[in-house]
Every structure is written in structure tokens, then in C-alpha cells.
Copies of this chain bind each other. A is one copy, B any other.
């Protein structure tokens, strides 16, 4: 009997498997043992290729952020470009909340992060901001993007029906508040409406309007 020849592990294969694991079963499903199972390898074999779990997550982070600046027409409307890049970053962070930790700990993650920063700063300069204000705008949009991803991450893992159910439960909670919470009761029905991504884009566009008032 000839057994199937398994190619040796590689950093690339491990990163692929990690992303698959997170994608299918949610971020909390990622453990080294489960990763080993998926790779049909002992869990500890991964340690030959990555020093530890955080180094692996780092590599995953760079992979996921890698697509954020791909194939973008850098001469289009600057607002739209910023929205697209940030939406992609948010999407990548949503896939993997652990990623937010890597992002916050050491900004210059790797190539992907530099490319994102360059793209955003470029657009802010194109929009006519001074370098100083471009830097501020960059910090602002990144903060909003990371915050949106952080907040939405848990709900994002649910399937659509469960998600809507949870949003409804939250609306109900605000609607049921006692007397002194007049504003909450009045607004309750409008909270968590639409997709989280739409809310993010709306927020980002408003932020950009504050940065460069629309003419």
C-alpha cells in the first residue's frame, strides 16, 4: 500500500489552515491542538515553524490585511478610496479578533500595514490636507475602523437570524428602560438597524466630512 505523500509543513500552509479554522468555526475555535488536527499533524509540529502562537497570529494578520490595498484605483474619489481600504481592514479584523490585539501592540506589523498607511495618507494629501492634518486624519480613521471591528466581532460570528434576534433583544432592553431614560426609549427602535458594515461606512463618511467639509 502506498500511503498518500503529505507535503512537509510550511509557514504558508499553517497560515492557510489557521485562517480556515477561524473562518469556519469562529475565532475561539482556534487552538494549537485543533490546528494540528486540521493539518493532520501533531499540534506541537507547528512549533518548528513558528516560535509561538502570537508569532503565528502575526503572520495571519499580515496575510489578512494583505488584500486591503489590492487593485484600488488610486486616482478615484479620495473619500471612496478611504472607505474601501478601511472597510477591507475592518473586514479582515472581523474575521479574527485576536488580530486587533496584534494591530494595537505594534503598528508596523509588516508589509501589509505599511501599504495601508501609505494608501490612506496619500489620499488625505490628495484631499488637500497638510501633512500634520493628514496624520491626524489617519489616526482618526484607524481608530474608528478598529473600534467598529472590535465592537462588531462577537455579533459577526453569529448567523444572520441569530444576529437579528440579538439586535432586537438589545432594542427591547433599551425600550423597556424606566422613566428617566427618555432619550433611550425614544431612540431604542433605531439602534442597531441595518448592517454593521453600513453603520461603519456611515460613521466613516461623517468623520471624513468633519475632516474635509464637503463643498
Chain A residues close to B by CB (< 8 Å): 100, 103-108, 114, 117-118, 121-122, 124-125, 131-132, 134-140, 142-148, 150-154, 170, 173-174, 177, 180-184, 186-187, 189-193, 199-200, 202-203, 205-211, 213
Contact = CB atoms under 8 A, between A and B. Distances in A.
A193 B118 CA distance: 18
A191 B131 CA distance: 9
13 contacts: A103-B151, A104-B153, A108-B173, A118-B181, A135-B187, A135-B191, A135-B193, A140-B207, A144-B144, A146-B151, A147-B150, A150-B150, A207-B207
Contacts of A150: 100, 104, 146-147, 150
B142 A151 contact: yes
B203 A107 contact: no
Contacts of A124: 183
A148 B147 CA distance: 7
B186 A136 contact: no
Contacts of A154: 104-106
Q: Give me the 4 closest cross-chain CB pairs, A-B, nearest first.
A: A147-B147, A206-B210, A210-B210, A140-B203
A138 B210 contact: no
Contact of A190 (B114, B117, B131): B131
Contact of A207 (B103, B193, B206): B206
B153 A187 contact: no
A145 B148 CA distance: 10
Nearest to A180: B118
B142 A143 contact: no
A147 B143 contact: yes
B199 A205 contact: no
